[in-house]
A and B are shown apart, each in its own frame.
Chain A
Amino acid sequence: MTDPLIRLEGVTKTFGEGATAFQALKGVDMTVERGDFVAVMGASGSGKSTTMNILGCLDVPTGGTYLFRGVHVERLDRDQRALLRRRYLGFVFQGFNLLARTTALENVELPLLYRGENRKVRYDMAMAALDKVGLAPWADHTPAELSGGQQQRVAIARAIVTQPDVLLADEPTGNLDSERSVEIMELLSDLNRNGGITVLMVTHEPEMAEFARTIVHFKDGLVERVERSPGRAPAEMR
């Protein structure tokens, strides 16, 4: 067994200082294996969003260690974490967070711009990603011209266009009806199973969590329990 892709050890996070200080994480231990599909669940204030922000290298822990691919993320500065996100991580948000007045294609190309790819490579990779989410014919449409489900697909295409190791999804179905939600979950499962992408997803809908192989329950800033679904085989190793 190789080292896990992600390992959190005794991670704490405190917001504010002195009397108003609030400890959101009280010592989280958690590992994520490469190729896993993890759902993070818990009531609001349980620390699941804070954990996701730390896992996504958007925030740093106050204490403890976070190893990502063997790298101590808590020791990295702002720019180093940005480069890590650029190279290895993809994000999908509840509110889609696409750039307005910008076509689907340009939205998907955005991470490639920051990687300095040339126009041809950007176009080819972005079109391939849009094709994967079934939106190639909508490449020239702006978010305002797309439905919620379609916008989330564009967001997923943007997240996977750089072929990241990990896809972090923060309540990806929170703004969608159940039918669209199932479509998005099937897409994420497919990317996990056939694309070899490790998926970390925050949700509070048990039906959506059912798509995951591992469910991590948070309570009061700690991991309460971890459920593994033995029926589903882990994805092929990349």
Chain B
Amino acid sequence: MLYTTLLLSLREIARHKLRSFLTTLGIIIGVFAVITMVTLGNGISASVQESISSLGTNTLTIFPSSGTGRGGGAPPPPFEQDDVDAIREQIGGVKTVAGQVTSSALAVRNAQNWTTTITGTSNDYFESQSLKFASGRPFTSAEESAGKAVCVIGDTIRENLFSDGDATGQRFRLGNVSCEVIGVLEKQDNSGFNDPNNTVIMPIKAVQRRFTGNQQIRAMIVSVQDGFDTGSVQKAITALLRERRHLAGGQPDDFRIFDSAQFAATLTQQTQQMTMFVAAIAAVSLIVGGIGIMNIMLVSVTERTREIGIRLAIGALGSEVLLQFLVEAVALSCLGGLIGIVVAFFASWGASSALNLPFVFDPSINILSFAISALIGVVFGYFPARRAAKLNPIDALRHE
């Protein structure tokens, strides 16, 4: 009987192609919107995760900071080289520690000039930031301890100052300092907090002596060995630094430790929440689509009153008429769901490649959307179907 009913319903849908399409359009748009939003959201999540993991997922960055909402006080004291050494020597699970100072200057070579940031650090920095060399070499320990004016340049600098050939071994002027290029970094495709391509990296002592003019260190970058929990390393560093900075028990930290793994997790979570939020808005259109189906089915029941009367007169049971209209509504909404899935597949694939996002096909959201559209057919098809089934055959036959 179900087969017969399905056959009757599909015939009816095929007989009214335009009306069926318009009826199901709401569902098509709803399913399309939900799936596309979720797929693009997943793509954004994946892209965020990818760019954060290129930062190094197990690095801790430590800044002096007086915490939030406490204006007016004296700025927190900077770090010193001793802090860097203490962390390296006293904390377990630390792979590398690189102190960091930053400055900026005008880089000049021949007629070209270019404003750039200067990062003073040690060789550990290259490893913890996973920076790769396109050519040249990192610092030697002699260069580091002497604070020699040698530098490793990012791709943007190379492009702007050394477009004519290999930069390695060349000299250029950085502020008042003449500086020798010993290495060139590969182009980095992530855009973290400052553009890694537009920076000149020098031994920390060189920057302290020639640019900042003091022994202060503005940040420390700690990379944690694999297998060690960044959280517990973070706690140990906090305890050590509080001691070194003579903080009493009640005083807040005057530095902050930024955990890239935690940041990645937070960011991913936020992206996913955003995705769910947008998908929920899109889901409203599914309900609107369901109401559209109910509307058309009600009109259809009225329009086909006579037909229902004929069916009842020749011996159709009320339940068979109910099933016919219900199956028709479900078939329409499932059809809409299928079309929506297909359209969403191509749309999200196209949008992903246009937005340069990874295309993450999520079968569960496709199945879920389809199931919901079928459910909508049942829910919104039931009322009109019941109305059809309850018609009195005599009145229905008399209906003009």
Contact A83 B1 (CB under 8 A): no
* Bound form: Cα–Cα A116–B311 in Å: 14
Q: What is the distance, in angstroms, from B209's C-beta to the closest C-beta of chain A? A: 92
- Contact mask B304-341 → A, CB, 8 Å, 1/0? 00110111111111111000000000000000000000
Contact A85 B15 (CB under 8 A): no
A87: Cβ under 8 A from any B Cβ: yes
Contact A114 B320 (CB under 8 A): yes
Contact B314 A158 (CB under 8 A): yes
Contact A113 B317 (CB under 8 A): no
A101: Cβ under 8 A from any B Cβ: yes
Contact B318 A79 (CB under 8 A): yes
Chain A residues contacting B312 (CB-CB under 8 Å) are 82
Contact B316 A114 (CB under 8 A): yes
Contact B1 A86 (CB under 8 A): no
A59: Cβ under 8 A from any B Cβ: yes
Q: Please count how many residues in chain A sit with their CB below 8 Å of the partner chain's CB atoms.
A: 30
A93: Cβ under 8 A from any B Cβ: yes
Chain B residues contacting A53 (CB-CB under 8 Å) are 394
Q: What is the distance, in angstroms, from B68's C-beta to the closest C-beta of chain A? A: 72
Q: What is the distance, in angstroms, from A186's C-beta to the closest C-beta of chain B? A: 24
**Most chain A beta-carbon contacts within 10 A, residue among B11, B306, B307, B310:** B310
Contact B314 A58 (CB under 8 A): no
A97: Cβ under 8 A from any B Cβ: yes
B4: Cβ under 8 A from any A Cβ: yes
* Bound form: Cα–Cα A59–B395 in Å: 11
Contact A99 to B310, CB < 8 A, known contacts A59-B394, A114-B320: yes
Q: Please count how many residues in chain B sit with their CB below 8 Å of the partner chain's CB atoms.
A: 23
A47: Cβ under 8 A from any B Cβ: no
CB-CB nearest in chain A for B398: A95
Q: What is the distance, in angstroms, from A152's C-beta to the closest C-beta of chain B? A: 14
CB-CB nearest in chain B for A117: B4
- Contact mask B1-38 → A, CB, 8 Å, 1/0? 10010011001000100000000000000000000000
Contact A111 B315 (CB under 8 A): yes
* Bound form: Cα–Cα A59–B313 in Å: 11
A6: Cβ under 8 A from any B Cβ: no
A228: Cβ under 8 A from any B Cβ: no
Contact B318 A114 (CB under 8 A): no
Of A59, A87, A101, A110, the contact of B311 (CB 8 Å cutoff) = A110
Q: With A85-B314, A86-B315 given, can you name 10 additional A-B contacts, CB distance below 8 Å?
A: A59-B394, A82-B318, A97-B309, A97-B310, A110-B310, A114-B314, A114-B316, A114-B317, A114-B320, A116-B1
The 6 tightest CB contacts between A and B, nearest first, are: A86-B315, A85-B315, A111-B314, A97-B310, A82-B317, A79-B317
Chain B interface (Cβ within 8 Å of chain A)?
1, 4, 7-8, 11, 15, 306-307, 309-320, 393-394, 397
